[in-house]
């Protein structure tokens, strides 16, 4: 009797616990939905409970609240976007609406997951959302975003060539519709420290012609610059997310003349010489210890460590990174460094053997989109038109150190006088974009896994094989291509 | 006799009243335990995704997620990592260490017990994420451990990268040992002194007393504790995620981390729920194993 009772008690408590273990997944999937992590910065004025509560029943005099959601990287009210939104909102002539920043404080990867959850419901969707152009197609396919074609037709700036035509590609989804207005873009290349180059006898005006020249420079630095100088830094970890895929792997892959996705046959390329070449480059850097210490490069802060710490302190010679990094060094930036203009150089990333077009860059960027579940689409659109006019975009790209997507801003002396802006914009002429495919974000995480495994010692061939298997599983056997 | 006729309806009514009292808890159980599990079970057969075309339209995909799971080499790695983590930190670490601390504290002075008990308990009361941060800064490149080592002239080691599994195992031991210690303390206090004293009189050595008397006496507590600690450890996520993120590579990717990555990094919620059911299954199998061993 006693034994049986105890057995039952044990059984039930075991089951209960097992359930708690199992449930942790489902509970986290639901809880993240409600707790979208939206941190609202302390606003000086009104404290509105929720943006959606101000529908018509209060009468026309009530102010409508237009919420803008963007990623806060931890800088809060000092963040460029926060300051810009406040500034633009203050000048906005329509005083019937209140523009309210509703940032999501998260790492880049988490931001996309949180946005996806927030956009799913009318209760949580903001009126305007900042979308990374690589997620835009995926979120559009999910039906989260509002197509803007009709509205764009009536916007002079869009139709009269003020926006660089090539940039419109970045906000066009696979269904051919436009889902956002781009506000910045970027190019990528090799940042290098001229002082270190001078010390080890490398040219201060460095223009590598192929990958071997990049590696040779790194080897020279390793031999001559001392053990506390990292020769070359590339993002190599899963924790740095899209930066690893785009700044490192895709720069190499596209530079080797290969693509991720074959547009003609509409298939993902799972095996090719280009993949091998790209991984071999990473393998060489790992084997010869030309790269950063793994403990620094494999965590989510790697990008900041390189740009804000290693580069200004003269502990890093070459960094394969984006055109935005000088934004950090401006007065009021994250790591002010007035000398950066003279110390840093920005060389184009060569193709692997120097073949045409000689250098390569990938371009990304961000856009303002209107969620399909937004409450005030018309007001949101009106604000987007104002926020992304010439003067306001210019303010934003200058403050953030990004490249403009507007042709009229690109010509403005105010913009071109910023160091590196002209050269970064020039690199865009060979710019390539990531595939506008809704599977891309998933493929991208497999790229990160592959790159990290090579960086931690897996053979390039093995990593490539696993990548091929993973991609096949994600997109289906019929949608893959081997070269 | 008359009392019987009166008490019958009362008895009947009593039969229903227990239900009324239980109803709220049954409802809560259904809503917060059974329903999510069924939902998880259902979603594991769909292509549920956070974004992309699949997010628009939920499709039933049969056993695709499960088939994918069995083909995925990372699943095997994750199961292996989970087992190493489980055996290292829960079965060996927390269980054995907890038992030893409890044993050594027995018959010691009150002050000693209190001081040591509080120190061990500090790890247990620390929230998981705080614990992860503490140990991250302990094992970090410029962390406490390396600072201590460099004081003795030993060069720094990148612990989180050279021995990542060991660091998370030690972290979990540090975090969880107090629980086992408390359980064993209570159990050891129940072992009657008379038996031990009798054994001493018969000339038994301390080890003999430990293995022939003390451990058999608290065998059931050991098994129960083993089960509780196992199930707690199976679900550990925050500690590993904050310390190593499952890396470098996949060297500390346990099933919960893998599940999170699939669901919220790859946006494949359907696949993620299938993995969570695998985790649930492992938990149930291990519990049944413990319960059975208890019966024998």
Residue of A nearest to B164 (CA): A295
Q: Which residue has the tokens 């059911």?
A: B277
Neighbour count for residue B247 (Cβ, 10 Å): 25
Q: How far is B193 from chain A, CA to nearest CA, in Å?
A: 25
Dihedral, CA atoms, B146, B132, B285, B68, nearest 10 degrees? -90
Q: List chain B residues with CB under 8 Å of A293.
A: 141, 158
- The yes-or-no verdict on residue A131 having pLDDT over 90 is yes
Indicate the pLDDT class of residue A61, thresholds 50, 70 and 90: low
Q: List chain B residues with CB under 8 Å of A17.
A: 227-228, 231-232, 283, 287
Distance CA A295, CA A297 (A): 6
> How does DSSP assign A423-439, residue by residue?
HHHHHGGGEE-----TT
What ranges do the domains of chain A cover? Answer: 28-186+364-428, 188-363+438-482
Q: Do the beta carbons of residue A465 and residue A200 sit within 8 Å?
A: no
C-alpha separations of A300 from A103, A294, A314, A317 in Å: 20, 12, 22, 21
Interface test with B, best of A7, A29, A373, A479 (most B CBs within 10 A): A29
Distance CA B105, CA B98 (A): 11
Report the pLDDT value the prediction gives residue A1, as an integer from 0 to 100.
Answer: 46
Report the pLDDT value the prediction gives residue B45, as an integer from 0 to 100.
Answer: 94
Report the pLDDT value the prediction gives residue A429, as an integer from 0 to 100.
Answer: 78
How far from the centroid of its chain's Cα atoms is residue B277's Cα? 16
Q: CB-hemisphere CA count at 13 Å for A294?
A: 25
Q: Is the ipTM here above 0.85?
A: no
Interval A306-317 mean pLDDT: 94
Nearest by CB to B279, which of A21, A441, A466? A21
Provide the CATH topology of domain A188-363+438-482: D-Maltodextrin-Binding Protein; domain 2 (3.40.190)
Tens of pLDDT, residues B225-278: 999 999 999 999 999 999 988 878 889 999 999 999 899 888 889 999 999 999
Q: What is the mean pLDDT of chain A?
A: 86
Report the pLDDT value the prediction gives residue B10, as an integer from 0 to 100.
Answer: 54
Neighbour count for residue A289 (Cβ, 10 Å): 11
- Residue B156: is it exposed, middle or buried by C-beta count within 10 angstroms (0-12/13-18/19+)? middle
Closest CA to A477 of B66, B68, B63, B49: B68
Q: With a cut of 50, list the residues of chain B below it in pLDDT.
A: 1-7
Q: Do the beta carbons of residue A174 and residue A436 sit within 8 Å?
A: yes
Q: Is the dihedral of CA A124, A128, A133, A137 positive or negative?
A: positive
Architecture per CATH, domain A28-186+364-428, reads as 3-Layer(aba) Sandwich (3.40)
**CB within 8 Å: A442 and B33:** no
Counting one residue from chain A and one from chain B, the pairs whose CB atoms sit within 8 A come to 166
| Residue numbers of B between 233 and 272 with CB closer than 8 Å to A | 234-235, 237, 245-251, 256, 259-261, 263-269, 272
Q: Do the beta carbons of residue A347 and residue A99 sit within 8 Å?
A: no
The DSSP element (H or E) to which B200 belongs, if any, is: helix B193-201
Reduced to 3 states, what is the DSSP secondary structure of residue A130?
A: strand
B102 touches chain A (CB under 8 A): no
Distance CA B211, CA B69 (A): 43
Fold agreement (A28-186+364-428, A188-363+438-482)? yes
Q: List chain A residues with CB under 8 Å of B280.
A: 18-19, 21-22
**CB within 8 Å: B277 and A473:** no
Q: CB-hemisphere CA count at 13 Å for B22?
A: 8
Report the pLDDT value the prediction gives residue A40, as an integer from 0 to 100.
Answer: 39
Report the pLDDT value the prediction gives residue B14, as an integer from 0 to 100.
Answer: 60
Q: Per mean pLDDT, which of A2-6, A415-419, A433-437, B163-167 is the most reliable?
A: B163-167
B56 touches chain A (CB under 8 A): yes
B275 touches chain A (CB under 8 A): yes
Tens of pLDDT, residues A173-206: 888 999 999 999 999 999 999 999 999 999 999 9
Tens of pLDDT, residues B144-170: 999 999 999 888 888 988 899 999 999
- The yes-or-no verdict on residue A48 having pLDDT over 80 is no
**CB within 8 Å: B247 and A239:** yes
Q: Do the beta carbons of residue A190 and residue A318 sit within 8 Å?
A: yes
B58 touches chain A (CB under 8 A): no
């Amino acid at each position: 009797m006693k034994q049986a009772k105890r057995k039952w008690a044990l059984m039930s408590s075991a089951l209960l616990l097992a359930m708690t273990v199992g449930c942790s997944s489902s509970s986290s999937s639901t809880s993240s939905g409600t707790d979208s992590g939206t941190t609202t910065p302390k606003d000086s004025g009104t404290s509105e409970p929720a943006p959606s509560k101000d529908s018509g029943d209060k009468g026309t005099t009530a102010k409508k609240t237009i919420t803008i959601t963007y990623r806060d990287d931890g800088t809060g009210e000092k963040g460029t976007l926060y300051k810009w939104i406040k500034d633009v909102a203050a000048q906005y002539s329509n005083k019937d609406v209140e523009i309210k920043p509703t940032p999501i404080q998260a790492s880049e990867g988490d931001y996309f997951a949180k946005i996806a959850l927030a956009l799913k419901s009318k209760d949580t969707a903001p009126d305007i959302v900042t979308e990374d152009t690589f997620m835009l197609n995926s979120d559009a396919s999910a039906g989260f975003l509002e197509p803007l074609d009709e509205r764009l037709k009536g916007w002079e700036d869009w139709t009269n060539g003020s926006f660089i035509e090539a940039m419109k590609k970045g906000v066009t989804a696979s269904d051919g519709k436009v889902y956002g207005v781009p506000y910045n873009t970027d190019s990528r290349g090799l940042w290098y420290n001229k002082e270190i180059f001078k010390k080890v006898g490398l040219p201060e005006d460095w223009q590598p012609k192929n990958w071997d020249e990049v590696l040779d420079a790194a080897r020279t630095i390793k031999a001559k610059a001392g053990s506390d100088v990292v020769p070359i830094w590339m993002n190599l970890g899963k924790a740095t997310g899209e930066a690893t895929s785009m700044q490192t792997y895709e720069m190499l892959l596209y530079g080797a003349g290969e693509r991720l996705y074959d547009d003609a046959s509409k298939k993902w390329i799972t095996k090719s010489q280009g993949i091998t070449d790209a991984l071999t480059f990473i393998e060489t850097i790992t084997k010869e210890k030309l790269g950063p210490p793994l403990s620094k490069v494999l965590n989510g802060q790697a990008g900041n460590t390189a740009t804000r710490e290693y580069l200004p302190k003269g502990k890093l010679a070459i960094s394969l990174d984006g055109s935005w990094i000088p934004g950090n060094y401006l007065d009021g930036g994250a790591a002010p460094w007035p000398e950066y203009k003279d110390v840093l150089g920005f060389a184009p990333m060569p193709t692997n053997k120097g073949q045409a077009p000689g250098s390569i860059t990938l371009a990304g960027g961000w856009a303002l989109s209107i969620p399909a579940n937004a409450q005030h689409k018309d007001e949101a659109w009106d604000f987007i038109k104002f926020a992304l006019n010439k003067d306001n975009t210019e303010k934003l790209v200058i403050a953030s150190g990004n490249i403009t997507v507007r042709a009229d801003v690109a010509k403005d002396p105010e913009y071109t006088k910023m160091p590196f802006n002209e050269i970064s914009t020039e690199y865009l002429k060979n710019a390539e974009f990531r595939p506008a495919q809704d599977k891309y974000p998933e493929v991208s995480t497999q790229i990160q896994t592959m790159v990290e495994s090579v960086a931690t010692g897996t053979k390039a061939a093995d990593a490539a094989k696993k990548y091929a298997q993973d991609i096949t599983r994600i997109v289906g056997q019929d949608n893959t291509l081997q070269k | 006799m008359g009392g019987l006729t009166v008490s019958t309806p009362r008895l009947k009514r009593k039969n229903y009243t227990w239900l009324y009292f239980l109803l709220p808890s049954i409802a809560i159980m259904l809503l917060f335990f059974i329903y999510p599990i069924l939902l998880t079970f259902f979603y594991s057969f769909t292509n549920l995704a956070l974004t992309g075309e699949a997010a628009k339209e939920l499709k039933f995909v049969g056993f695709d997620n499960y088939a994918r799971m069995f083909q995925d080499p990372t699943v095997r790695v994750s199961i292996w990592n989970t087992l190493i983590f489980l055996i290292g930190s829960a079965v060996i670490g927390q269980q054995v260490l907890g038992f030893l601390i409890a044993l050594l504290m027995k018959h010691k002075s009150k002050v000693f017990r209190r001081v040591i008990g509080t120190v061990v308990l500090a790890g247990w009361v620390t929230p998981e994420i705080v614990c992860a941060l503490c140990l991250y800064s302990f094992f970090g490149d410029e962390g406490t451990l390396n600072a201590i080592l460099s004081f003795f002239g030993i060069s720094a080691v990148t612990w989180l990268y050279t021995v990542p599994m060991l660091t998370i195992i030690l972290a979990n031991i540090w975090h969880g040992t107090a629980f086992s210690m408390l359980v064993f303390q209570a159990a050891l206090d129940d072992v009657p002194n008379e038996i031990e004293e009798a054994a001493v009189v018969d000339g038994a050595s301390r080890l003999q007393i430990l293995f022939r008397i003390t451990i058999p006496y608290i065998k059931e507590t050991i098994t129960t504790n083993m089960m509780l600690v196992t199930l707690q450890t199976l679900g550990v996520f925050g500690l590993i995620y904050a310390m190593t993120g499952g890396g470098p590579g996949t060297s500390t990717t346990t099933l919960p981390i893998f599940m999170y990555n699939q669901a919220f990094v790859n946006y494949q919620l359907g696949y993620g729920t299938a993995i969570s059911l695998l985790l649930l299954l492992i938990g149930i199998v291990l519990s049944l194993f413990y319960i059975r061993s208890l019966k024998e």
